[in-house]
Amino acid sequence: TLTGKTAVVTGSTSGIGLAIARGFAGAGANIVLNGMGVPADIEKERSGIETDFKVKAVHSPADMTKPAEIAEMVALGEKTFGSVDILVNNAGIQFVSPIEEFPPEKWEAIIAINLSSAFYGIRAAIPGMKKRGWGRIINTASAHSLVASPFKSAYVSAKHGIAGLTKTAALELAQHKITVNCISPGYVWTPLVEHQIPETMKARNLTKEQVIKDVLLAAQPTKEFVTSEQVAALALFLCSDDAAQITGSNYSIDGGWTAE
Ligand code: NAD
């Protein structure tokens, strides 16, 4: 149980982050939501967490490209709930292009959001966790923290980087009862993925089933999506006392992708 604990989950207005936030709230944690979106939609998710799980939730609008705002997000959790015990660095974006045409501003944004934001978040959360002698830091990496795909130079670099940051932080915090791990999903069924299907059906003259199996899941041997809830369940396990000796690890949840 996470009753009395507070979790900050970056990029939790959608997809995997939202599922993790709801999973932690279901275990009793108070939640700092973070991410972009329509204010009314964000408020619906925030209040929904409070009514569904009888915990408290606040939203931090911190932009993950801005180190000062990341520190403010952690401070908001500490001020509102008294502590930040769990930090999930999950916010992420993607851009696909050959390197020679890859816009430098996209490279900078992906490195900032998918990698540097985790450094700034961890940096801000450590002092409180050390003082209380307990902490859980989980980074949403990707199968792309272990293998590459063409045309995803910034994403693959950032995700390999976050795997390294995870190991380094784990070693630094090993004797403070603070664990640091990353989760590496394959293809996860998020709204983002779902919305690509009708267009791809049209463009390639394929059925929905063909798009899913032969296009989207070409790299995933199970030919099934990971669900956000499955990722959330793994994150929740990493917060448990049973996981106290798991640190510096990179957990694949990818339907066999990286076994190939
Ligand atoms: P998503 O687009 O549904 O959610 C991304 C979240 O990040 C949103 O809440 C968005 O508002 C937030 N965000 C984006 N830019 C931000 C910024 N500058 N500041 C603050 N928040 C920002 O995507 P998702 O699929 O849930 O992805 C979440 C994480 O999981 C990412 O790190 C992604 O790389 C990783 N991942 C996703 C998949 C997949 O197949 N969906 C697979 C492996 C890893």
Supply the pLDDT for residue 178.
99
Task: Please give the Cα distance from 255 to 36 (Å, whole number).
Answer: 29
Cβ–ligand 1 contact at 91 (below 6 Å): yes
Supply the pLDDT for residue 54.
98
Given the residues 120, 155, 187, 251, select the one marked as catalytic.
Answer: 155
| Closest alpha carbon to 44 in 14, 74, 17 | 14
Taking the centre of ligand 1 as the mean of its atom positions, its distance from the CA of residue 55, in whole angstroms, is 24
Supply the pLDDT for residue 154.
97
Task: Please give the Cα distance from 250 to 147 (Å, whole number).
Answer: 13
Ligand 1 atom with the shortest distance to the CA of 141: 44
Domains, the chain: 6-187+227-259 (3.40.50.720)
Cβ–ligand 1 contact at 197 (below 6 Å): no
Cβ–ligand 1 contact at 121 (below 6 Å): no
Task: Please give the Cα distance from 125 to 120 (Å, whole number).
Answer: 9
Cβ–ligand 1 contact at 14 (below 6 Å): yes
Kindly provide the ipTM of the predicted complex, given to two decimals.
Answer: 0.99
Taking the centre of ligand 1 as the mean of its atom positions, its distance from the CA of residue 80, in whole angstroms, is 25
Supply the pLDDT for residue 191.
76
The separation between CA 217 and the C-alpha centre of its own chain, rounded to angstroms, equals: 21
Ligand 1 pocket test target in 8, 13, 16, 184 with most atoms within 8 Å of CB: 16
Supply the pLDDT for residue 139.
98
Query: What residue's CA is closest to ligand 1, atom 41?
Result: 188
Q: Is 155 noted as a catalytic residue in this protein?
A: yes
Cβ–ligand 1 contact at 110 (below 6 Å): no
The answer to whether 232 and 23 have CB atoms below 8 angstroms apart is yes
- Per-run averaged pLDDT (10 residues), the chain, 260 residues: 98 97 98 98 98 98 98 98 98 93 97 98 98 98 95 96 99 98 96 81 91 88 95 98 98 96
Tokens representing residue 197 in the block: 């299907």
Query: What residue's CA is closest to ligand 1, atom 24?
Result: 15
Which pairing describes strands 135-140 and 86-89: parallel, antiparallel, or unpaired? parallel
